[in-house]
């Protein structure tokens, strides 16, 4: 199974609304190249859940590093600027979050079917 068919990271992927072109990966070839590389890495590990888990953990670590470093230091220092940023974030889908699968989900998948 090709991940690129089920989870494409290209111009059609809704990263942000048209009102926020700076975060559109298609508008930034360097960013698009990095995203494409990550997708190819994931595709090469499609049958290796441990390797994919490692990749997800590294991406989450990168997310936190950007959040706590460059993003935090780029926040406006005045109320009006911060309010404007928060309003734009709300309008464009909110805070970027990398959700985790809950352990309970895996346990439910492994539980014996009570009807058998």
pLDDT of 101: 64
Give the residue, 73 or 97, on which the prediction is more confident. Answer: 73
The pLDDT confidence band at residue 25, using thresholds 50, 70 and 90, is low
How far from the centroid of its chain's Cα atoms is residue 84's Cα?
23
pLDDT of 88: 86
The pLDDT confidence band at residue 26, using thresholds 50, 70 and 90, is low
Nearest one of 83, 108, 31 to 39, comparing CA atoms? 31
To the question of pTM greater than 0.85 for the whole model, the response is no
pLDDT of 78: 86
The pLDDT confidence band at residue 1, using thresholds 50, 70 and 90, is very low
Residues 46 and 3: beta-carbon distance below 8 Å: yes
pLDDT of 45: 98
CA–CA dist 78, 116 (Å, integer): 62
Does the pLDDT of residue 22 top 60, yes or no? Answer: no
The pLDDT confidence band at residue 94, using thresholds 50, 70 and 90, is confident
């Amino acid at each position: 199974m090709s991940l690129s068919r089920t989870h494409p990271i290209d111009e059609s992927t809704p990263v942000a609304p048209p009102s926020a072109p700076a975060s559109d990966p298609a508008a930034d070839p360097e960013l698009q190249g990095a995203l494409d590389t990550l997708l190819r890495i994931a595709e090469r590990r499609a049958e290796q859940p441990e390797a994919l888990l490692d990749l997800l953990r590294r991406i989450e670590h990168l997310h936190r590093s950007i959040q706590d470093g460059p993003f935090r230091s780029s926040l406006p220092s005045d109320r009006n600027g911060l309010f404007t940023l928060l309003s734009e974030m709300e309008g464009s889908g909110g805070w970027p979050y990398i959700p985790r699968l809950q352990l309970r989900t895996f346990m439910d998948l492994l539980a014996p079917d009570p009807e058998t």
